[in-house]
A and B are shown apart, each in its own frame.
Chain A
Amino acid sequence: MNSLTITWITLPFFVGFVGYLLPKLDRYLALGMTLVSASYAVRALMEPAPLTLHLMDHFGVTLMVDAQSSYFILTNALVTAAVILYCWDTGKTAFFYTQTIILHGSVNAVFICADFISLYVALEVIGIAAFLLVSYPRTNRAIWVALRYLFISNTAMLFYLVGAILVYQANHSFAFAGLQGAPPEALALIFMGLLTKGGIFVSGLWLPLTHSESETPVSALLSGVVVKTGVFPLARMALMLDGVAPIITLFGLGTALFGVSYALFEQDTKRMLAQSTISQLGFILAAPAVGGFYALTHGLVKSALFLSAGTLPSRNLQELHQRPIQRSLWVVLVMASCSISGVPLWAGFASKALTLKTLLPWQMIVMNVATVGTIATFAKLIFLPHQQESSPARTIKPGFWIAILLLLGALLAANGFYLQAYTLANIGKALAKIGSGWLVYWVIVRRIVLKLPRVQEQLEHLIGGMSLMLVLLFWMVWA
């Protein structure tokens, strides 16, 4: 298993460059790589005990593969595979597939690393690969959005580096476990970096623009897996160290409400999906112990939603209400929205039940409010007018259907991870929440058009917000 892990983690980088040298094979190689990752994830899931690797000495690279990682790796493999299938006939160059697979590899690296420097390197490679993918269309707007993303992520990572050396100074090791003996400022600096990278709470305000202005497949990748690279280390640290978990849970609850309150009043479909991503990341952090399963279901459903939102004739919900959409596309939207709303039959239901089970009563109330908000948000997509395909003007690419089939099929199959969720009480609660969510939609959301300000999404405010976040974190760790 040791050599298998090392081979698997280096393979994507090799495959990426080979794909660039042999452009005819690029898609096949990339798809093959995701298959390898998926089978590795399944293999790791069946291992009885977590695998820990210390390469070199105690200050070398530390890797750790546990059940939590395998869920994240599986998410990464499925989402990347779906994106490659979606792009199959779109004439993307070998460069695109190379970057996709390098991104895939570095995201995998984040999901198994257990020391701060490997994490730093992996996160920076993700930053660069994501920059190149976002700026792939080479338009001025795409370049600006990508530049803004790189600015924010690099500044956050500089703070993170300062935190990492403080951890090293305290116990001569970069391993995650060393955070226990580190001074509070180290914790605050590292968390700030990861919160920004993961798009959590106020630090996640950069996310809506980046995710909504990217091309459809890139948005699906970013929202489906890339943001989880900030969340995963936080969840892992919450499980490894005591004293950290309450802070993480608090951030999870705050993020869940924060994201959904934006998404509720958004009129742009892609922005709404991006804001809902922020909220869903909160769900993962609120219960770090079972976050892996939630990340899997969210990654699958969010990429399916982004891919179908990119196929809609318009991004504006008001316009979509005027013009009926194709029925086949509407069915896909309804199925995906049902899963994210937690309708029984879909894995979203099982993962929500599992997350809620581990929370304290007062936290459960907050999460239920966020769930109802999510349901009301996605009711906007469910209740769109639709009609039988009348004109053959807009034909949907076959790649889209294959990708959606893969994602939704995986969502149904993922129920198998937690079949115990299907009790009468759980189903009743879920149906009650859906009823109240739809009520909120018809009574409030549908009637009110609220335009929330976007000042806080300017580059300077985002960077300035980091210093505020740092103060808040320092204060939380100190207390």
Chain B
Amino acid sequence: MLEALIFATILCGFFGIIFKQNLMMKIIAMDVMSTGVIAYYVMIASRQGVITPIVSEINHGPYADPVPQAVILTAIVIGFSIQALMLVGVMKLSRDNPTLESREIEKTYTP
């Protein structure tokens, strides 16, 4: 169930990138897609358990796998910086194309 929902999120984002006309919305759709991917990593990490993996005397029971979480932290940071960079690009473009319609922009700037 959870897995299906996560894949639905990824697909929603993916179709958003294709079908949304506004460049800003496309970027947000990409963010939705990456949220789905991050959620998938977290879900796989919690397959064996959900307890935070901290070494201690007492056994707290099955703990979550720390590796995918550590990895996805890197991906989150990268994804966030790419989003920021794209937003700056869009900001620059919006000066001459206030509607930010990707078709129009594409037509104008493709030789």
Contacts and interface: CB of A to CB of B under 8 A. Distances in A.
Interface of A: 59, 117, 120-121, 124, 127-128, 131-132, 135, 138, 140-141, 143-148, 150-151, 154-155, 158, 161-162, 165, 168-169, 172, 174, 209, 213, 454, 457-460, 463-464, 467
Interface string B57-83: 000000000011001001100110110
B5 interface: no
A165 B41 contact: yes
Contacts of B82: 124, 127-128, 150, 154
B71 A135 contact: no
Interface residues of B, number: 39
A144 B18 contact: no
Interface in B81-102: 81-82, 85-86, 89-90, 92-93, 96-97, 102
B44 A147 contact: no
Given A128-B85, A161-B75, A165-B40, A155 B33 contact: yes
B33 A143 contact: no
Given A140-B92, A147-B90, A174-B71, A213 B111 contact: yes
A168 to B, nearest CB: 6
A148 B19 CA distance: 15
Given A144-B109, A147-B89, 9 more contacts: A131-B89, A138-B92, A144-B93, A150-B86, A150-B89, A161-B75, A457-B110, A458-B106, A459-B106
B33 A158 contact: yes
16 contacts: A127-B82, A132-B85, A135-B89, A140-B109, A144-B93, A145-B109, A147-B23, A147-B90, A148-B106, A161-B37, A162-B37, A165-B68, A174-B71, A213-B111, A463-B17, A467-B14
B18 to A, nearest CB: 5
A124 B106 contact: no
Nearest to A271: B111
List 3 tightest A-B contacts by C-beta distance, closest first. Answer: A144-B109, A141-B109, A147-B89
Contacts of A141: 109
B33 to A, nearest CB: 5
Contacts, number: 92
B77 to A, nearest CB: 10
Contact of B17 (A124, A128, A151, A161): A151
Nearest to B65: A172
A469 to B, nearest CB: 13
Nearest to B105: A144
Contacts of A59: 67
A154 B30 contact: yes
Most buried by A among B34, B37, B47, B93: B37
Given A121-B78, A165-B68, A155 B17 contact: yes
A140 B93 contact: yes
A440 B106 CA distance: 35
A389 B82 CA distance: 47
Contacts of A121: 74, 78
B18 A464 contact: yes
A460 B18 contact: yes
Contact of A155 (B14, B40, B41, B78): B14
Contact of B40 (A128, A162, A458): A162
A196 to B, nearest CB: 13
B78 to A, nearest CB: 5
Nearest to A145: B109
A112 to B, nearest CB: 18
A426 B30 CA distance: 51
Nearest to A59: B67
Contacts of B111: 213
A469 B96 CA distance: 35
